[in-house]
Structure 1
Amino acid sequence: MVVAVSLGVNIQSVLVLLTASSGIALIQEKQAVVLDLGTDYTKFGFTGEAAPRCIVRSEFWCPATRRVRRLHDYSSAAELYDNLVHMLHQLYFRHVLVNPKERKVVVVESLLTPTLFRETLAKVLFIHYEVSGVVWADSPRLCALTLGAPVVLVVSIGAKDVEVAAVVHSCVVLHALQSQPLGSHAVHAELARMLDEHNGGPLHLDDQVIEDIKVKTCFVTSRARALAWESDSPPRAARDVRYGRVTVPGRARELAAEPLFRRDHEQSSLPDAVLQCVAASPRDCRRALAAGILLTGGGAALPGLRARLAAELRQLVTQPPYCDTLHVREFKFHDAPSAANACAWLGGAVLGAGEAGAARAMPRDQFARAPRLRDWVCLLDNTPPGHPHRDHLDI
């Protein structure tokens, strides 16, 4: 009060300002948190913000074994429960320093997340940490939400898998969903093989070292150079670089990402997955999907990936079996509004900041009455109430 009088400030106005500032602080304290538990990296932060507060590896210090343990390394539901408890404790109390009881949670998940993982995560959030409510949101629709476009083809290149989903007017075309084991780990395995071959023996490099080499030295070569490498007269390789005591040859730098585009008899390459998703989508939205491709995930950050994928799509669509079913010749890509690995998290932050996201949250008392989550793969959830088979599903 003395300071206010000496400065000539009205006491009533000071009280108003203090009340307003405390109200703003109270609102900020009750912001929901957005949780994206990836296979390799976890994104965690608050709704309404443009970027996560932390992006950390999906691992924690296990006090029982006295070593660092990966979140997704588990063999039973009880082991997964303990992993999630330790991981969330690290996120809440070390990285963002908030009380989990006071905040709702927006969980960003893949459409192919195992049911055991979803239900165990729900038990940890509702029972162990006693959060007030949880919103479960799939990553394809969250990625499309960041663009505001009605039709988006989301190509997510994760750690283990590549998922291609068609989002049409905020709905995922489930029967067109494609998934292939062509994530970043496939690139890491190819890079490790080529490094061992060049250095004359197994180097036994750690996974984090392989990832660091990929991020700092590798890129996706053009389609013409990739075809030239398979011919009898290979082109001149890129410059060799040194990574510590390891020599990274130019050939490995160029061709480490080739498993994403290597075709086989089952048509399981990345361009095949994109075209198969477009072909399985409704006819009236195929051109819009081809003109609205969004690359997300940590693997999408490789330099030259977008140009190479566009060239492969333009060439592949003119060949059987796509030339007879797909009459699309133009492919365009969206620029992600954030880093490729945080695009789904940003969609969760946008969803949780609005009133619609808060309304979709499952409260803790509802989960206590019926500890079960809705799942699109379960007939109990996707069968209409009036369907004749509905009575036989109620168990």
Structure 2
Amino acid sequence: MALYEGIALIQEKQAVVLDLGTDYTKFGFTGEAAPRCIIPSEYWCTSERRFKRVYDYNNEEELYDNLVHMLHLLYFRHVLVNPKERKVVVVESLLSPTMFRETLAKVLFLHYEVSGVMWADSARLCALTLGAPVALVVSLGARDAEVVAVVHGCPVLQAIQSQPLGARAIHDELARLLDRDNGTELHLPDHVLEDIKVRACFVPGRARALQLAGGGAPAARAAPYTRAERSLSVSGAARELAAEPLFARDNEMASLPDAVLQCIALCPIDARRELAENVLVTGGTAALPGLRARLAQELRHLVTLPPYRDRLRVSKFKFHTAPAHDNAAAWVGGALCGAADGGARALARDAFARERRLADWPSLLHTTPRTHPHWDELAEAEPLG
């Protein structure tokens, strides 16, 4: 055996970072500045003869099969590494379902036999890329918009806000506007709506949006959209108003700016001003032109109105620019965390085999101190193994 081969066997190999999103999956190695691949979260299902999304499942068994096929695609087609030789850093949302986390752990430990897995929430990883002690992370995903305050490396759980204001809300509004302009139901698929959004849509300023809502301003210039399967004209109103569901207010104050202000209001009073001055908007939807400027204008306006006027003493809102692309900021944070940690906090495979339980913040078993009387009551009801 050559000397360099022996050194390679002794050294710890780079861990892989997995960010399994609803629409797109980011996969790569720790210590690198960008993921090796960003692909749709789907695979070719031979039994159904179609591309199947990972999150399209009805029970745990179907989810298990989806994850097995998706990880096989990532490991053996895109990065070409042996899963047994490398630890995994899983980037997840704080609101990820327990069944999804546990099923993913079973697939990694039992099917692919990885040596260790470290679970990290996307909010703290996004804040890690900034190097700031306090950050307000606004994540615009495919389905939901999550607002999480990170104070000195800890997410403020009581202040988490989540609203169904992701990319799907923009796609639905864009489809409605296109159907109205063409006088018929076009039934455009999601990938066509996403392509139109990326190529033609933008977010106007607050004053411009009010003029368009009142009909007192001409719309922007229409843009032609031509592809092999479709050819249509995207009106100026559709280009400008597609993202308005993010800022539309109702009686429940469920808009994106309201979610940001409600999250700040629920945080400790001594951190609110610093949170408002360290806002980071991430996710694929964050790349829409004009979105950050519009969000800043809406925040400065709403903070002068009740109920925020009396609860918040904040007048300035400042936004960070992530050191990576908007849709890969959480992945880059996972790559930094995995490289700095070296796998010390990873859950080992033998530990998972002894007790198939993952630490989770909603579980009393992992958030209650051992000195609390709850443990005595739990031991009387059901002794722990």
TM-score, scaled relative to structure 1:
0.93
Note if 1:125 corresponds to 2:108: yes
Structure 1 segment 43-54 matched on structure 2, within 5 A: 43-54=26-37
What is the match of residue 311 of structure 1?
297
Q: What code does the residue aligned with 1:382 have?
A: T
1:373 counterpart SS class: coil
Q: 1:333-378 deviations in whole A, cap 9, x for unaligned? A: 0110100100000000001111x35110000000000011011111
What is the match of residue 284 of structure 2?
298
Larger Rg: 1
What is the match of residue 216 of structure 2?
234
Aligned residue among 194, 209, 220 for 2:192: 209
What is the match of residue 3 of structure 1?
none
Q: What code does the residue aligned with 1:140 have?
A: A
Note if 1:280 corresponds to 2:266: yes
Q: Please give the root-mean-square deviation of Cα atoms over the aligned residues, in Å.
A: 1.5
1:358 counterpart SS class: coil
Aligned residue among 331, 351, 367 for 1:366: 351
Query: Which has the larger displacement, 253-262 or 242-251?
Result: 242-251
1:350 counterpart SS class: helix
Give the conservation status (yes or no) of the 8 Å contact 1:135–1:357.
no
Aligned residue among 368, 384, 389 for 2:369: 384
Give the conservation status (yes or no) of the 8 Å contact 2:212–2:219.
no
Give the conservation status (yes or no) of the 8 Å contact 2:224–2:234.
yes
Q: Cα offset for 1:30? A: 1.3
Inter-CA distance 29–384: structure 2 relative to 1 (3 Å threshold): closer
What is the match of residue 69 of structure 1?
52
Aligned residue among 300, 309, 319 for 1:323: 309
Counterparts of 1:391 and 1:181, CA distance in 2:
40
Note if 1:345 corresponds to 2:328: no
Aligned residue among 164, 173, 196 for 1:181: 164
Inter-CA distance 204–29: structure 2 relative to 1 (3 Å threshold): farther
| Structure 1 residue ranges, 4+ long, deviating more than 3 angstroms after superposition | 22-29
What is the match of residue 40 of structure 2?
57
TM-score, scaled relative to structure 2:
0.95
2:123 counterpart SS class: helix
Gaps of 5+ in 1: 1-14
Inter-CA distance 219–25: structure 2 relative to 1 (3 Å threshold): farther
Inter-CA distance 365–281: structure 2 relative to 1 (3 Å threshold): same
Aligned residue among 23, 30, 40 for 1:40: 23
What is the match of residue 11 of structure 1?
none
1:108 counterpart SS class: strand
Q: How many residues align?
A: 376
What is the match of residue 7 of structure 1?
none
Q: 1:210-248 deviations in whole A, cap 9, x for unaligned? A: 0000001000011001111122x4311111011121110
Q: Cα offset for 1:25? A: 5.8
Q: What code does the residue aligned with 2:22 have?
A: T
Q: Cα offset for 1:389? A: 1.8
Q: What code does the residue aligned with 2:304 have?
A: T
Query: Which has the larger displacement, 236-245 or 92-101?
Result: 236-245
Inter-CA distance 29–236: structure 2 relative to 1 (3 Å threshold): farther
Give the conservation status (yes or no) of the 8 Å contact 1:151–1:167.
yes
Q: 1:22-79 deviations in whole A, cap 9, x for unaligned? A: 5786688811000000000000000000000000000001121121100000000000
Note if 1:334 corresponds to 2:320: yes
Identity, in percent, stands at: 69
Aligned residue among 255, 271, 285 for 2:241: 255
Counterparts of 2:33 and 2:154, CA distance in 1:
24
Give the conservation status (yes or no) of the 8 Å contact 2:212–2:218.
no
Counterparts of 1:53 and 1:198, CA distance in 2:
40
Q: What code does the residue aligned with 1:237 have?
A: A
Counterparts of 2:219 and 2:235, CA distance in 1:
8
